[in-house]
Structures are given as C-alpha cells and as structure tokens.
C-alpha cells in the first residue's frame, strides 16, 4: 500500500488550468475526436470475438482509472473529507457498469438496449464533457489528461457501435435505451438520497438532486423555477440531445471517410 501511495504522489504533476476553447483545449479536441473517428472506422469490421476482448480491455481501463482517480484525490490532492461528487455513478461513469453487462448477459434484447444506451446517452455525456465541461480541466496534468481520455473513449465506443452496424436507428430501440437511462437515473437518485446527510447535501449523481443544481445554465434556471422542475428540464434536455446524436451517429457513412468505390465493381 505504501508503494501505491508513493506512486500516486509521484504522479502529482501540477499544471496551469487552461481555458475552454483555448489553444490547448482545441488541440485536445482535434486530436481526441480525430482518433475516435479514425479508430471507429478502422475497427468497424472486426469480429464479435475481437469486440468482446476490446470491451474487456476498455472496462479494465475504466476500473483501474477510477481506482487511480480516487486514490489520487485522497492522497495526492489531500482532500480533508471525501468529495461525493467524485462518486463513480455519473452518466459518463455508466460504461464502468454497462460494459461488463453487455458481455455477461445472454438476453439479446437487454444487451442491444445497453449498446443503444452507450451509442446515445454516453455519446452525449462524452461529447458534452470534452467540449464544455470545465470540470475536466484540473490543476493536475495526469488527472486532466485521464479525464479527457475517459470521455473520448465514450465517444469512440458510441461511434464504433454505429459505424459497425451493431446499433441502428430505430425509434423503439432508442426507447429501450431511454429505459436503461431511466433505470440508471433512479439508482442515481437513490444514491443521492441515501448519502444526502452524510455528504452535507453535495452528493449529486446525474445532477438530478436533491442537492443544489451545479450545472452551468441549469443552476440559473433552478433559481427561477426550483430544483424539481429544473431536474425534469435537465433530463428532458439530455433525452432530446441523446436522440439527436443517436440519429446522427447511426446515419454516419459505413465506409471509411474519403474512401471511394472502384468504378469497375
């Protein structure tokens, strides 16, 4: 354990927080999104066996990454008390739980619903996070880099599922994905309620309360219409955004970008 703590502390390289849409952030976006798109098309024809292995590797990364983040925040950053906002049950944390289920469950309908969830709601969470979520940018290099990598992987998984044909645009399939989202949101709400007192009202998984709304724009809405209605507006916005991105991603060309078909075929 002492070795682990020493390794965590040795990775505490500090950095200046860069602004959203500044030069460094735009470089992150360009490289990250380019790699996501290129990787999705490069791997789209791989076998189901390869995909299972890839999902196992990605889930191992998610698990180790989350453990490292928790240890880093406790030992390297040295928070006096646990920040419940770091509890791994946000929308963008869901692949940590969903990926193993897609591998273990045998019910094809449930597995497909979870894949549609990854290709819609997690795509929304990933894209929003890497573009407008300043919370990903910390004063520590490794945590900032890891946060961006985590969310870019969400984008990659969604694009891969879509361009490989494993997820297709169907309204009833999106409804099933929304049911998965709803179940996750209910669990998030139960966690928020269960830890409300011990967290001094700061535990806010999925940002749906009852803790005060702390999402930009929506926190201003909450001041006018109240927390409950703001949570419903927030959820409705996520559903609409996820539907739009799901529709767009599933209609991406299935051939590689700029690839042309031979006129002799």
The answer to whether residue 211 is domain-embedded is yes
Structural domain total, the chain:
1
The answer to whether residue 255 is domain-embedded is no
DSSP 21: T
150-to-53, 66, 138, 199 alpha-carbon distances in Å: 18, 10, 15, 26
The answer to whether residue 152 is domain-embedded is yes
The answer to whether residue 52 is domain-embedded is yes
The answer to whether residue 261 is domain-embedded is no
Kindly report, residue by residue over 118-170, the tens digit of the pLDDT.
Answer: 999 999 999 999 999 988 999 999 999 999 999 999 999 999 999 999 999 99
pLDDT recorded at residue 257: 59
The answer to whether residue 256 is domain-embedded is no
Kindly report, residue by residue over 161-217, the tens digit of the pLDDT.
Answer: 999 999 999 999 999 999 999 999 999 999 999 999 999 999 999 999 999 999 989
On whether the CB atoms of residues 102 and 58 are closer than 8 A, the answer is no
What range does the domain containing 91 cover? 13-250
Kindly report, residue by residue over 72-101, the tens digit of the pLDDT.
Answer: 988 888 777 888 989 999 999 999 999 999
Count each helix (H run) and each strand (E run) in the chain, helices first.
9, 0
Q: Spell 87-101 as b/e; 16+ CB within 10 A means b.
A: bbbbbbbbbbebbee
The answer to whether residue 134 is domain-embedded is yes
The answer to whether residue 167 is domain-embedded is yes
Among 63, 202, 34, residue whose Cα is nearest residue 130: 34
């Amino acid at each position: 354990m002492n070795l682990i703590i020493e390794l965590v502390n040795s990775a505490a390289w500090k950095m200046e927080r860069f602004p959203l849409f500044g030069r460094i952030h735009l470089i992150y976006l360009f490289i990250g999104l380019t790699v996501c798109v290129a990787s999705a098309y490069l791997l789209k024809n791989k076998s189901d066996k390869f995909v299972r292995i890839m999902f196992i590797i990605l889930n191992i990364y998610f698990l180790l990454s989350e453990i490292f983040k928790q240890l880093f925040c406790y030992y390297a950053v040295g928070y006096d008390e646990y920040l419940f906002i770091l509890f791994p049950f946000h929308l963008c944390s869901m692949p940590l739980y969903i990926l193993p289920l897609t591998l273990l469950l045998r019910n094809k309908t449930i597995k497909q619903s979870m894949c549609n969830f990854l290709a819609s709601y997690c795509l929304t969470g990933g894209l929003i996070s890497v573009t407008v979520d300043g919370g990903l940018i910390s004063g520590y290099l490794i945590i900032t880099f890891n946060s961006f990598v985590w969310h870019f992987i969400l984008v990659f998984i969604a694009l891969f599922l879509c361009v490989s044909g494993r997820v297709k645009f169907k309204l009833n399939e999106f409804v099933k994905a929304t049911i998965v989202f709803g179940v996750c949101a209910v669990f998030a709400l139960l966690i928020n309620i269960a830890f409300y007192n011990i967290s001094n009202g700061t535990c806010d998984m999925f940002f749906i309360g009852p803790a005060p709304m702390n999402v930009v724009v929506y926190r201003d809405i909450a001041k006018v219409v109240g927390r409950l209605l703001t949570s419903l507006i927030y959820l409705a916005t996520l559903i609409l955004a996820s539907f739009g991105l799901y529709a767009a991603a599933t209609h991406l060309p299935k051939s590689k970008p700029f690839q042309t078909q031979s006129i002799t075929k």
